[in-house]
Structure 1
Amino acid sequence: MARTRKTPHPFDKHLGAAIRSARARRDLNRETLAARTGIPLSNLKRREDGVNETTVSELERIAAALRVSARDIVDMALQDYGADGRTGPSSPQDGLQKLLASVSEPPRTLEEADAVIYLGHVAPGRRDAANTDDRIAATD
């Protein structure tokens, strides 16, 4: 069975850009950062490009290798994510509000026909649960 490809959240691109920016400020190339963090180079590239999600563990290792706090990287990403291009600079709080609103929306992949009414817990009677073989059920 083929795996469905996961679509990254738009915030992932901003987080990747913040990681790349922090790496550039430390004058490190990807190879060196990958070696220091233990993250394979191809994975690190996908994180910086925003193609894949960055885990908290990876973010902590990256931040430690760059000698910057993970919070600083996330704040840079939130500030960039919150800017809409029309109102000028944004704060990390603006970005966080926007991020929370985007993940609070219901998934767009569900259709009205997919809604299932919850009926509660329904357990079979003891007699029905015990009689799984049709021959036994027929003799009762």
Structure 2
Amino acid sequence: MPKKRKAPVTFDEWVGAIVENHMNTRGYRQEDLAEKSGMSLSLLGRSIRGTRPFTVTEFETVAGVLDVPAARILEDALAGFGGMRKLLAEQTAMSPTPNNVSPMRGLDLEAMTPEAREELGRAAVYDAEHEEDEPHTP
């Protein structure tokens, strides 16, 4: 008997729940869907639980294996989640403008000292999230 899952909260959880519903309707286990879609069982399981979003390619492949239009899965997930307005509001709230970008607008580079320009150049290639310099491209 399958474990009872908690009700979906995030949009990714809703997508996973809808995929799981279609999977169960067709009598597929996660192992079956993983094999037919070419996804690893681990990645599929995390995507179904909503802890990892499906990539577009994975999502289209899984929908094809389930013989359900991808748009229908997304529409059902969006309806369960609470609509596009809620999704956009949450996505916007999660993606603030990086605080290292907007303060740089309007700087007078000509008035800066060479040292200040050099520091600004170092800041432009530093990835604070990963605490390392981004690779330089020619």
TM-score by length of 1: 0.63
TM-score by length of 2: 0.64
Q: 1:96 aligns with which of 75, 84, 88?
A: 84
Whole-Å Cα distance in 2 between the matches of residues 108 and 119 of structure 1? Answer: 20
Whole-Å Cα distance in 2 between the matches of residues 96 and 42 of structure 1? Answer: 29
The alignment-based identity, stated in percent, is: 31
**Superposition pairs of residues 22-41 of structure 1, within 5 angstroms:** 22-41=22-41
Shift of 1:106: 5.7
CA separation of 1:106/1:27 partners in 2, compared to 1, >3 Å: closer, same or farther?
A: closer
Shift of 1:98: 1.1
Please list every run of 5 or more consecutive structure 2 residues that lacks an aligned counterpart in the other structure: 1-8, 115-138
Q: Which has the larger radius of gyration?
A: 1
Aligned residues: 104
**Superposition pairs of residues 53-68 of structure 1, within 5 angstroms:** 53-68=53-68
Shift of 1:115: 5.8
Whole-Å Cα distance in 2 between the matches of residues 52 and 39 of structure 1? Answer: 13
Please list every run of 5 or more consecutive structure 1 residues that lacks an aligned counterpart in the other structure: 1-8, 83-94, 129-140
Whole-Å Cα distance in 1 between the matches of residues 65 and 108 of structure 2? Answer: 50
Report the counterpart of residue 131 of structure 2 in structure 1: none
